[in-house]
A and B are shown apart, each in its own frame.
Chain A
Amino acid sequence: MVFFHALQINETVCEGCSHCMRVCPTEAIRVRDGKAHINENRCIDCGECFIACPHKAVFVKQDDFEEIFKFPCRVALVPAVFLGQFKDDISVSRIYAILKEIGFQHVIETEISTPLYTERKNRMERESNNKPLISSFCPAIVRLIQVKFPGLVDNIMPIKAPLDITAMFIRQKLEKEGWRPEDIGVFYVTPCAAKIAAVKSPVGEKRSSVDGVINMDSLYNRVYKKIKEQGHDYKEVKLPIAQLTSDSILTSLTNGERRLSIAEHSLSIDGIDNVIEFLEKVENDEVEGVDFLELRACDQSCPGGILTYNNRFLTCERMFNRARYVAGKERRGELTRAKEVAEEHDYLMENIMVEDVEPRSMSLDPDFNKALEKMNKIKILEKLLPQIDCGICGAPSCNALAEDIVCNGCKLTDCIFIQRNMESRKSMKVEKSLQIMEKTWGREKIENYIKSKFLKNKK
């Protein structure tokens, strides 16, 4: 089975510089023929490669915006992070008005269903003995656990994220208003690649309630262009569905779930490397007495998503201010409760769970004895390799090359140390080692290099 992933390499731009290969937390990237290649079964769409790429060769596949017009009834599902992309003087209502102008009849904020999500999670925290429970909010984390920590999949709370609950809610509402299910198109504005994969190949769910995904950066461009065109001449639109609570506004920030958790001992950790470091400990049973973990792949959680425009700290600040403003209204009893969502409470609660999350094994072979045989070979190869993880073979580490030799047809001679050694013992010609370099880094790059530097020196 091949898994969908949203991160792609644009081969015409890729220089094969290997920056992405070195930062990938699941060692999913190799350089071959001068281009980076992503192994789809290992990629968790965390976006580290996207951030590392100096040539903007990593891109996030998205649906064509015109797709929305295939549906007579169009819904934009907008996370609070989107509104955090704009400066304070651009009001929420103004942004909604623009979203309606560019083609959506309905705009709804993703976090409107947070109270239900929290209610279900807290119930699970009370009832489950499987500690620590891990939030399913961040899809990159769910995939990270499937791929790298298969022993912890049972700790993931199989609850739909607010994005999916809100999509279910709006569908239900519009169907009740008389729309046919096939005429409703729900489009989610995503701050990251992982949410796209979550919609296109949901975990523990047969089909997502979301029909398409719009990348936040491209929508930002569209909206910002309108803002510039409008100048001071614009209108504002109040949302028909009540505003978010202050708690809901903060859900997608670090600590957003933890602060609503009933667990006595809980942690929130952001940044993929921080999460991996901690999950290693959890998997070893070295962490005692923690009931709940809120884990997010990006630094500062969703404001740090790779498809956001604004600086993540500034986004957090704007979202905090919005939450503080709303909290004031809450204290004064001025906020209209989200009655519409509460009315569908029972229907949504019935459909809020997903099936249990299955591990996605990174094992060497499904058969134990074959895997053991391969492992023995890898251990021997590792002793022959220099263990400096230089990456010149096109793999991120000596260990990864050893694995690639045993499993993917790579050769020991792909290693520059082995090549040099053989050359010195006259068992390999320089031409042969150049050929090997070409296979990894691309013929063009090697030829250009020889022409430009080598020949000049000769003169």
Chain B
Amino acid sequence: MHLEYTVIEGDFVNAGSASSSIKKTLKQLNVNPSVVKRVVVALYEAEVNAIAHAYGGVVTADIDAGKILVRVIDKGPGIPDIDWAMQEGNSTASPEVRNMGFGAGMGLPNIKKNVDRLNVQSTVGVGTTVEMEVNLG
């Protein structure tokens, strides 16, 4: 099954709509509540990242035999050093975003904690794709 959602830059009001919808689907599929929670937490984090730090993008989810693959594909600005960004506390967030309570440098590490596989690819000036997979079985 394939699901798709649009994420708009700076639209914090609607942050979490993709994770809500995917949550509803997973619940109907009888996925263990603790697994659903991990997916939702990771996706919500990634969704907020795309809203706060990127110029928006799309979220896609593919559910099939025992796993969910979520991709958050944003439209830039891209992460220059992914290894650096994966460490807790490191953040490239602007002062404005930090003032809103985001940009603590916990986003990617928190996602990593909640998913079974994480792959981040980024090209500066083009965008970042966060690909995360969670086993549902």
What is A's interface to B at a CB cutoff of 8 Å? 150-153, 280-281, 283-286, 359, 361-369, 371-372, 375-376, 379
Contact = CB atoms under 8 A, between A and B. Distances in A.
A156 to B, nearest CB: 13
A280 B30 contact: no
Given A376-B1, A379-B1, A286 B33 contact: no
Contact of A359 (B1, B29, B33): B33
B47 to A, nearest CB: 10
A361 B44 contact: no
Contacts of A151: 27, 33-34, 36-37
B63 interface: yes
A277 to B, nearest CB: 11
Contacts of B95: none
Contacts of B41: 285
A363 B32 CA distance: 11
24 contacts: A151-B27, A151-B33, A151-B37, A283-B40, A284-B40, A284-B44, A286-B16, A286-B44, A359-B33, A361-B30, A363-B28, A363-B30, A365-B30, A366-B30, A367-B30, A368-B30, A368-B66, A368-B136, A369-B65, A372-B1, A372-B64, A375-B25, A375-B63, A379-B1
Contact of A285 (B44, B63, B136): B44
Contacts of A286: 16, 44
Nearest to A154: B33
Interface of B: 1, 16, 19-20, 23, 25, 27-31, 33-34, 36-37, 40-41, 44, 63-66, 136-137
Nearest to B43: A284
**A contacts with B: majority SS:** helix
Most interface-central of B27, B31, B137 (chain A CB within 10 A): B27
Given A150-B27, A372-B63, A284 B34 contact: no
Given A372-B63, A372-B64, A379-B1, A362 B27 contact: yes
Q: Of residues A153, A366, A367, A372, which shows the largest number of chain B Cβ atoms within 10 Å of its Cβ?
A: A372
Given A284-B16, A379-B1, A368 B29 contact: yes
B12 to A, nearest CB: 11
A379 B1 CA distance: 9
A151 to B, nearest CB: 4
Given A151-B34, A376-B1, A363 B16 contact: no
